[in-house]
Amino acid sequence: MTELRRKLIADLRIRGRSTRTIEAYVHWVAELAGHYRRSPDRIGRAELESFVLHLLEQRRLSPSSVRQAVGALRFFCGVTLGRRREQYDIPAPKERQTTLRESYGETWSNHAL
């Protein structure tokens, strides 16, 4: 286990994160490192944004999975690496909002309330 991974895990434990959260965050940081084939502490904001786009467009992950990845990368950069927010603040995808009509269909909207 690398020193950087140990520090990430320690930072997460100190903040009371669950075992599953720790596993997920370590997974996403490892995915980032594997994608660029180098240590994640040498990856900049533009590459972080490109990685998120890759998750959405090439891997076609759900917005909730990508939000989890973004949360992990923000934590890693902000807490573990101690970077300033403007160096790592990457956008997370939003869930598409559905209307009641879309959720329940036309028959629901035809009923009087």
For residue 42, the model assigns a pLDDT of 97
DSSP string, 15-41: TT--HHHHHHHHHHHHHHHHHHTS-GG
Listed in sequence order, the DSSP H helices in 15-105 are 19-36, 45-57, 63-75, 100-104
Residue 4, Cβ density class (10 Å: 0-12 exposed, 13-18 middle, ≥19 buried) = middle
- The pLDDT assigned to 106 comes to 55
pTM above 0.75, yes or no: yes
Fold for the domain defined by 3-109: DNA polymerase; domain 1 (1.10.150)
Low-confidence ranges of the chain (pLDDT < 50): 108
Domain ranges (residues) in the chain: 3-109
Q: 91-109 pLDDT, tens per residue?
A: 888 865 555 555 555 554 5
